[in-house]
Amino acid sequence: MNHPAMPRRQKFIALAVTTAISALMLSGCSASPEPVPPAASSPTVDSNLLEAHELVGLDAPQIIERLDTMPVTERSTDLIASVQSDALILTDGEQHETRLLMPDDEAYISIAPYREQTHDCHFHSLTTCLGELPNTEVQLTLTGEDGKVLLDETRQTYDNGFVGIWVPRGIEATLTIEHEGQSGTATVSTTDEDDPSCITTLQLT
């Protein structure tokens, strides 16, 4: 028996799948923890990938600084750079991969404060994550569980709407961001390998 409704249903399913994929691409971030590979004693380097993106000779913190602060219009469309606890993982459209070890004593956290629009994020993607407030001056305060102020400075969010901080490992702290009379807080944790490197839940109210 023929079912005239089937082609329409298949089109609807295809459209729904396409829409879901597009939404993920727009967010540009890893919403939930990806499997973290076992810790390696040495980095895995693909020289072709590094040369193609002018990153030869740079370590993980230097690459993070370059990519996170790069103007959005200058960013490569085929490079993915995922900041995880133990490593910065770079991949491209040719399936090349480079894994550079993170510092033993510090973790990198990138934060996108927002007023109205945000997205889910867990591991920060240096080349694709976009926040609501690019190039915006904010006041950052990071306070440890013992009340000690670990960071207190004025910064400007990058062109991607994020601002990055290096945090000591093995701590839990409260991050407060203030901007034009509004403020918001978020918990920063560096005690576990699956702790997020991307914070998109800090709403300014």
Angle of CA points 76, 200, 162, to nearest 5°: 45
Q: β-strands 87-92, 172-179: how paired? A: unpaired
Per residue in 75-93, pLDDT (tens digit) is 998 999 999 999 999 999 8
pLDDT digits (tens, 9 = 90+) for 53-68: 999 999 999 999 999 9
The one-character DSSP state at 98 is: E
